[in-house]
Amino acid sequence: MAAAGMALAWAAAPGIARAADAPPLRIAMTADIRSTEPGVNRDANSDMVALHIVEGLVAFGEHAEIKPLLAKSYTIGDDGKTYTFTLRDGVLFQNGAPLTAQDVVWSWNYFMNPKTAWRCRGDFDGSGAAKVTSIEAPDAHTVVYRLDKPYGLFLASLARPDCAGSGVVHRDSLNADGSWNKPIGTGPFMLKEWKRGQYISLARNPHYANQDGKLDGFTGSKRPLVDEVRFMIVPDDATAKAALQRGDIDIIQDLSYTDVKPMQAVQGVKVASSPVMSLTGLLMQTRDPLLSNVKLRQAIVHAIDNAQLVAAVGDGLMQPSTSMVPLISSYYDKAQRETWKYDPALAQKLVQESGYKGQEIAIIATKRYPEAYTSAVIIQAMLQAVGIHTRLEVTEWATQLDRYNSGKYQMMTFPYSARLDPSLNYEMMSGNKDKQPRKVWDDPKALALIESSSTITDTAQRQAQFDELHKLFLEDAPMMPLFNGLDVGAFRETVKGYTPWALKRARAWEVTRNP
């Protein structure tokens, strides 16, 4: 990486010279990035910056569906093991070099080298679900990946944001000795300056080859409409909010729920939100002597008025959802809207039929995640109303996580981070409890369906499997999903085009800022 505070040599390329004449678009980040190497020594902030600079063959659309990006199309072989990508015409790297299939192969081999320590290498080297046995460039516009077995999540794995979308970099991103220097990608912005602890400055890419269409996740139209973007390091929330109100920053890209109404009252500031892929739910230990009884678990889910709970927890911003498939997912359809009816009389009947004798059941929660803690408080009151005696056990997050991983709990409210495919949503809470005690659901039929959904690529077949999984899930009630999270952004009214979205990462493309 270039020395801190030093502008990169090509930052003054033709087409961005006027950056000094216009104020930058300033986006607040809670912490500095870890590196500029995509998917290496990274965190969420590093990913957010990298995805403005590099692009991969495919990317997640607005509803987390896989769509082409550097590829204009792709085909999957009949064996399910061969993926052929055709590159878009006219794509240039930020140094003006044309993108070729050979560049894709070179970039892939660089990141798959164990010495690079790329986060997603384990997804493709055979230590995970599948192995890329070869990558070939039969001509300048064609890239062929060959896998050792069918893997329906291959494209989703390529698109993972924490792997920078498997972004393709030019070989000049490296120093002469092979060490990392700076990212040279094909994205709408390019690295201009990294002033450690203060800001990361990106300049408009004058060579950007935009796709037609509209804003669509990490793909679609991605025009760089400002000359400079600055990701400002503002660790303190109060400082960020004050800076936004003064006009010293333009966007807070991760506003807390409790700050929404106060910010909506600030003149010159707007607030917007979108459902995301994260999930908070009530977990139930199906191997517990009491909760192994499905009638008691059914009594619990029928005793909870989830609409009322979510209205209270989310201050009217969120929608309730009891599906493992997120609301924003393209796989969320009529079947996923089916839910347990709030019915206290039925809950009381099921309590009696279960043989429950008033034993105390502990609900674990942590104040580290306020929405999960508040949910536990409300659930305790609702269960008490139908005769289920509970005790709220408030712990530190580390303690709760240990209990979760060991399976040593009766019930707990728990926040799951985002997974970007329904198979992964089900997989995160399902599995063999003897081998992985943290797993919540171990129904053999469900596990077989989850494994199958991870293998096939046909959308209609996968939808049918997710629909069947949801039906089984409602019957067995191993946990109760409560709500998906929100991406809430606050921005100056001079900012046009900024929108929060499902993957909860700021996008500076298609955004303008008036002086």
The count of domains in the chain is 2
Task: Say whether both 55 and 189 belong to one domain.
Answer: yes
| CATH code assigned at 428 | 3.10.105.10
Task: Say whether both 173 and 122 belong to one domain.
Answer: yes
Task: Say whether both 445 and 369 belong to one domain.
Answer: yes
Q: What is the DSSP string of 128-183?
A: SS-BEEEEEEEETTEEEEEESS--TTHHHHHT-GGGGGG-B--GGGB-TTS-B---
Going through 148-293 in order, the beta strands assigned E by DSSP cover: 189-195, 199-204, 215-216, 219-220, 228-233, 251-252, 269-284
Closest CA to 491 of 507, 476, 470: 507
Does a structural domain hold residue 2? no
Task: Say whether both 66 and 160 belong to one domain.
Answer: yes
In which residue are the tokens 């004449």 written? 21
Does a structural domain hold residue 4? no
Give the contacts of 269 (CB within 8 A, at least 6 positions apart): 244, 245, 263, 490, 491, 492, 493
| pLDDT of amino acid 395 | 96
pTM metric for this prediction: 0.84
87 is written with which tokens? 């590159």
Task: Say whether both 231 and 283 belong to one domain.
Answer: no
Q: Pairing between strand 142-147 and 132-139?
A: antiparallel
Task: Say whether both 232 and 285 belong to one domain.
Answer: no
Does a structural domain hold residue 437? yes
Does a structural domain hold residue 364? yes
Task: Say whether both 219 and 201 belong to one domain.
Answer: yes
Task: Say whether both 429 and 363 belong to one domain.
Answer: yes
Does a structural domain hold residue 15? no
Q: How many CA atoms within 13 Å lie on the side-chain side of 50? A: 29
Angle separating helix axes 370-385 and 294-303, nearest 10 degrees: 110
- Give 190's DSSP letter: E
Alpha helices in 330-396 (DSSP H): 334-337, 344-354, 370-385
Domain coverage including residue 339: 278-486
Task: Say whether both 127 and 246 belong to one domain.
Answer: yes
111 is written with which tokens? 């990141």
Going through 217-360 in order, the beta strands assigned E by DSSP cover: 219-220, 228-233, 251-252, 269-284
What is the chain's pLDDT, residue by residue, as a tens digit (515 residues)?
Answer: 333 333 333 333 333 334 446 789 999 999 999 999 999 999 889 999 999 999 999 999 998 899 999 999 999 999 999 999 999 999 999 999 999 999 999 999 999 999 999 999 999 999 878 899 999 999 999 999 999 999 999 999 999 998 999 999 999 999 999 999 999 999 999 999 999 999 999 999 999 999 989 999 999 999 999 999 999 999 999 999 999 999 999 999 988 888 999 999 999 999 999 888 889 999 999 999 999 999 999 999 999 999 999 999 988 888 999 999 999 898 999 999 999 999 999 999 999 999 999 999 999 999 988 899 999 999 999 999 999 999 999 999 999 999 999 999 999 999 998 888 999 899 999 999 999 999 999 999 999 999 999 888 889 999 999 999 999 999 999 999 999 988 999 999 999 999 999 888 899 999 999 87
Task: Say whether both 385 and 409 belong to one domain.
Answer: yes
Residue 45 host element (H or E):
helix 44-53
Does a structural domain hold residue 243? yes
| pLDDT of amino acid 317 | 85
Q: How many CA atoms within 13 Å lie on the side-chain side of 227? A: 16
336 is written with which tokens? 């996923």
- What one-letter code names the amino acid at 278? S
| CATH code assigned at 55 | 3.40.190.10
Task: Say whether both 362 and 500 belong to one domain.
Answer: no
Does a structural domain hold residue 261? no
Cβ pair 182, 173 in contact under 8 A: yes
Closest CA to 420 of 219, 159, 220: 159
CA max distance for the chain: 77
| pLDDT of amino acid 21 | 64
Does a structural domain hold residue 128? yes
| pLDDT of amino acid 455 | 87
Task: Say whether both 304 and 184 belong to one domain.
Answer: no
Give the contacts of 62 (CB within 8 A, at least 6 positions apart): 215, 216, 217, 220, 501, 502
